[in-house]
Amino acid sequence: MLGKTRKVSARGEAVAANYAFGPAEDDAIIKHRLLTRTTTTRGDPPLKKLQKKFTSFVSEVDKGDDNYNDCEKLARAFLQELTTFEIPLLKSKAIVEANVREKENFNELKEEMNRQILQAQADIEDLKKQLEESKVERRHKEECEAIRKLIALQPPRSETQKVISELEKEIAALDAENTAGSRLLELRKKQFALLLHVVDELQNTIEEEQKSLVEEMRMATEELKNGMEDTSGAAEAMAIDLKITYCIRVRYLYGCTTIKTLRTGV
């Protein structure tokens, strides 16, 4: 049934075994041996032995009534063989029951392990979330620490508030000064405009007076010229005319210079 051939090398190297049956045939042979309770390849199987014992007993019983002793011997042999055949069955039954219990225990253990695996996976997910939260919290703490260090480098709030108050006072003073300067500038503009207007009026008045004075002097000069008949009188009249003309010119130039100075502010 199961044959082997061995090949041994001349130098005593490794021994290789070649089996005559494949894995599927081996499984079939093992299954047949388990069903027939055959443990060896020699002799008849136990079930066949039991069948032979029972057949011998029945045949002996059917022969007649004078073979009681032989029937008793065959009956004892049959019962002994039946007991021998029953013991492995009971053993197999116990093994099967043990295997069933072991299988149930294995299934329970498998379920418990699956439950523990699921619980471990859930715990891993929770730990991952906690790790992410811890990372975020740590990053926030680091940012807060950096901000705290920056704040520690700054002056106290009281000093900062004091500086701000002083700056606000300076700004208010500059605003007031700017407002006062603007008002003073507007006032000076108005005063300067008024001064220019007065200067223009004064210039016009001076020009009119100068024109009137020149006209009067001219008329007086003509009258003096007409009233003098001799040479000395003519020379004296000419000298008077020159003096009057000089005075008029000087007065005219002085008035123009004064007005120009007022306009330019020089």
226 versus 102: the higher-pLDDT residue is 102
Nearest CA among 105, 64, 101, 57 for reference residue 81? 57
Decide if pLDDT at 231 tops 80: no
The reply to whether 235 falls in a domain is no
Inside any domain, residue 143: no
The pLDDT-based confidence of 246 (bands split at 50, 70, 90) is low
Within a domain: 127: no
Are both 105 and 164 inside the same structural domain?
A: no
Instruction: Please state, in angstroms and as integers, the Cα–Cα distance from residue 250 to each residue in 47, 85, 265, following that order.
Output: 172, 171, 22
Does pLDDT of 91 surpass 90? no
Mean pLDDT across the stretch 75-93? 84
Q: Specify the pLDDT at position 251.
A: 56
200: containing domain: 158-222
- Averaged pLDDT of the chain: 77
Q: What is the pTM of this model?
A: 0.37
**Number of domains present in the structure of the chain:** 2
Report d(CA 41, CA 21) in Å as an integer. Answer: 15
Instruction: Please write the tens of the pLDDT for every residue from 100-137.
Output: 999 999 999 999 999 999 999 999 999 999 999 999 99
- Whether 73 maps to a domain, the answer reads yes
Domain boundary residue, one of 118, 143, 168: 118
Write out the DSSP string of 107-169: HHHHHHHHHHHHHHHHHHHHHHHHHHHHHHHHHHHHHHHHHHHHHHHSPPHHHHHHHHHHHHH
> What pLDDT was estimated at residue 106?
93
Residue 33: band (very low, low, confident or very high) from pLDDT cuts 50, 70, 90? low
The whole-number pLDDT of residue 266 equals 43
Residue-level pLDDT at 8: 40
| Cα atoms found within 13 Å of the Cα of residue 255, Cβ hemisphere only | 19
Q: How confident is the model at residue 108, as a pLDDT?
A: 94
132 part of a folded domain: no
Residue 173 and residue 102 share a domain: no
Residue 139 within any structural domain of the chain: no
The answer to whether residue 141 sits within a structural domain is: no
DSSP secondary structure code for residue 10 in this structure: T
74: buried, middle or exposed (CB in 10 Å: 19+, 13-18, 0-12)?
buried
The predicted model gives 8-31 an average pLDDT of 58
Same domain, 173 and 100: no
